[in-house]
A and B are shown apart, each in its own frame.
Chain A
């Protein structure tokens, strides 16, 4: 199977790449995080960071979670020259879209800039990789209170599968007791 070719085309399948690469992120949270990027300059790294924050902005998440996304984009760029080129060009296009460089603009201006390019392959590639890199990260799950696997604790049968208290319990005819 031409795995790479497939992975580049399907929105979902982008996940495969991101899964394969997300393990790599022993992210340093130091200010100099961009120094670890291989495919991108410091400026490009900072631009991508602003971009991925605005794509899925969660106030509860510190920059470190988004920096991991940029590292995954870096991995993709290293693995696929065509992707690297697309991202270099896309960043340049974002910068050219206003008086100030993209990273220096206000949040509202950044969103407007992204809106203008949302149908481009560049935007979709970044969004697709971020979708998995961000939401498939167990550290992010923790911040959302999503537990992930339930098998290690034996499932929810004895861990609150029916603990909702703000509505009455259905009658046993509709919802029998666990037997």
Chain B
């Protein structure tokens, strides 16, 4: 592993080692660029992961305090935990389930295609599917996505069997074990899935793609990566001429350091990325870095989500095997006759007993609730994930009074469901229940959204510098050598799980950065 001098201003500094940052680090080092990768969390491995929901949560999740506001139910149930994401090398690709879907053509043009939706701050992406298609192909190959590149689908577990039978009985047609970044056979020096059922807790077999044990070690092998775990960026430094010059960060001992940089790439996930830009305000950049549009932190999206769990007479053991074991795609298209714009996917989900008790209906108690938990072995479950509307008032802002351990303002996450989101969720719940009713559910349960696992849009891409924070390469409109490299770039959320697209954008961004460096434009 390389170690670069803090005064070396020829390095690219990437902040955050998750889907976006970890991938970008590998791509850039493969092209010969020197990269310093700052990561707030510690480095774990398959050996240190535990098949234990609460243990893994405490080991891997971002637990620094955040505040919430708005009418979303998460603010009531989890006032200090708006998002369920990671602080660890590999970021949230340690927790993630692996569902890897391409966005659809029409979703890149939501403003054009969804007509005027009151209250929605819709915008078309400055790119379309044709721009991304070759990079999607690279990402799918890199991640070993099943049902692409001649990789067979995963075998379905019991939870999928229930979903499949119910779905086909109500007439759904596109139902299968999904496109998953989980090895169905050994590939890329990683084993195939053992059906452990603890995908959210860090995959102990390594079958599931995570930057922790794919991109990052590959980047280290180039001798061009200086990975610094337990190093939290506090501020991005910039000169008066619109150039980022380095990053101030706190290391494992709480020591403050400055790493000089030729290019800075922000990939801290959609809450910390805008927070970092806002906390980097100076007299020159009084509203925060890269914020001439005023859109930094705005348009926070989290997908319209909800789960349907169903109780059956006979056992399901939903927790056996992959968590997202299958998908129904029939509702993912654009069909406004359903009463809303945008589409959603239905994907199996399972929780162990500890998390079922915590999430099935947060705050609930008493005989009825305990009675549902008694049926844990007889439950099947699915997650609904759909496009939510960007709204300018849904925003990550700096809490005016509360500070973190470094003395910096903590983020507040404000979210109100848009009427379109509510209509989609209500419809999704009904359709999910219909699937399970068709195979004899004795009871179905509408489970409210978990703390956000998908966080998007807070530094969005836009054609015009007035409408967003970065251009189609993720390069900020205001500072040429400052890039947004994570899900905060998303102009709209689309109905698909976002990570494949985050990885795709990172591969594409790496090409652009390397090209601009070669042309001496950066």
Give residues in A with beta carbon < 8 Å to B: 1-2, 5-6, 9-13, 15-16, 19, 54-58, 60, 111, 114, 118, 127, 131-132, 134-136, 140-141, 144-146, 148-151, 154-157, 159-164, 166-170, 173-179
Contact = CB atoms under 8 A, between A and B. Distances in A.
A150 B196 contact: yes
Contacts of A57: 366-367, 370
B58 interface: yes
Contacts of B377: 144-146
Interface in B187-236: 192-198, 204-205
B77 A156 contact: no
A179 B184 contact: yes
Nearest to B358: A131
A156 B184 contact: no
Contacts of A175: 153, 155-156, 160-161, 164, 176-177, 326
A61 to B, nearest CB: 9
Contacts of B194: 154-157
Interface residues of B, number: 71
B320 A127 contact: no
Interface of B: 50-55, 57-58, 63-65, 77-81, 152-158, 160-162, 164-165, 175-177, 184-185, 192-198, 204-205, 314-317, 319-321, 326, 352-354, 356-358, 362-363, 365-367, 369-370, 373-374, 376-377, 404-405, 439, 451
Nearest to A175: B156
B57 A161 contact: no
Contacts of B366: 54-55, 57, 111
A179 to B, nearest CB: 5
**Which of B64, B77, B365, B405 has the largest number of chain A CB atoms within 10 A?**
B365
A162 B58 contact: no
Contacts of A13: 63, 80-81
Contacts of A15: 54, 57-58, 358
A173 B315 CA distance: 25
A20 to B, nearest CB: 9
A14 B380 CA distance: 27
Nearest to B165: A167
A50 to B, nearest CB: 14
A146 to B, nearest CB: 4
A124 to B, nearest CB: 8
Contact of B155 (A10, A141, A162): A162
Given A127-B365, A160-B320, A179-B184, A150 B198 contact: yes
8 contacts: A9-B79, A136-B53, A155-B321, A156-B321, A157-B321, A161-B195, A175-B160, A177-B155
Given A57-B366, A148-B51, A175-B177, A155 B196 contact: yes
B195 A157 contact: yes
**Which of A5, A54, A114, A174 has the largest number of chain B CB atoms within 10 A?**
A174
A114 B366 CA distance: 10
**Which of A9, A127, A135, A159 has the largest number of chain B CB atoms within 10 A?**
A135
Nearest to A14: B358
Given A146-B376, A146-B377, A176 B204 contact: no
**Which of A134, A140, A179 has the largest number of chain B CB atoms within 10 A?**
A179
Nearest to B177: A175
A54 B370 CA distance: 10
Nearest to A111: B366
B195 A156 contact: yes
Nearest to B156: A175
Contacts of B317: 160, 163-164
A18 B34 CA distance: 44
A155 B366 CA distance: 34
A148 to B, nearest CB: 7
A10 B367 contact: no
Nearest to A127: B365
Contacts of A1: 63-65, 404-405
Contacts of A177: 155
A42 B40 CA distance: 46
A6 B58 CA distance: 13
The 8 closest A-B pairs by CB, nearest first: A155-B194, A175-B156, A149-B51, A161-B321, A135-B357, A155-B196, A10-B80, A156-B320
Nearest to A119: B363
A12 B78 contact: yes
A62 to B, nearest CB: 15
Contacts of B164: 170, 174-175
Nearest to A58: B370
A140 to B, nearest CB: 8
A170 B177 CA distance: 10
Nearest to B192: A179
Contact of B157 (A19, A135, A146, A161): A161
B65 A5 contact: yes
Given A58-B370, A174-B175, A159 B153 contact: no
A11 B353 contact: no
A124 B416 CA distance: 25
Contact of A157 (B193, B198, B204): B193
Given A10-B80, A148-B51, A151-B51, A164 B370 contact: no
B184 A176 contact: yes
Contacts of B365: 55-56, 114, 118, 127
Given A55-B366, A162-B158, A176-B184, A12 B314 contact: no
B52 A162 contact: no
A178 B158 CA distance: 14
Contacts of A179: 152, 184-185, 192
Given A141-B353, A144-B377, A155-B196, A164 B80 contact: no
Contacts of A11: 77-79, 81, 362-363
Given A11-B363, A136-B54, A155-B194, 9 more contacts: A1-B65, A55-B365, A131-B358, A132-B54, A135-B354, A149-B50, A164-B162, A164-B314, A179-B192
B181 to A, nearest CB: 17
Given A16-B58, A164-B162, A2 B156 contact: no
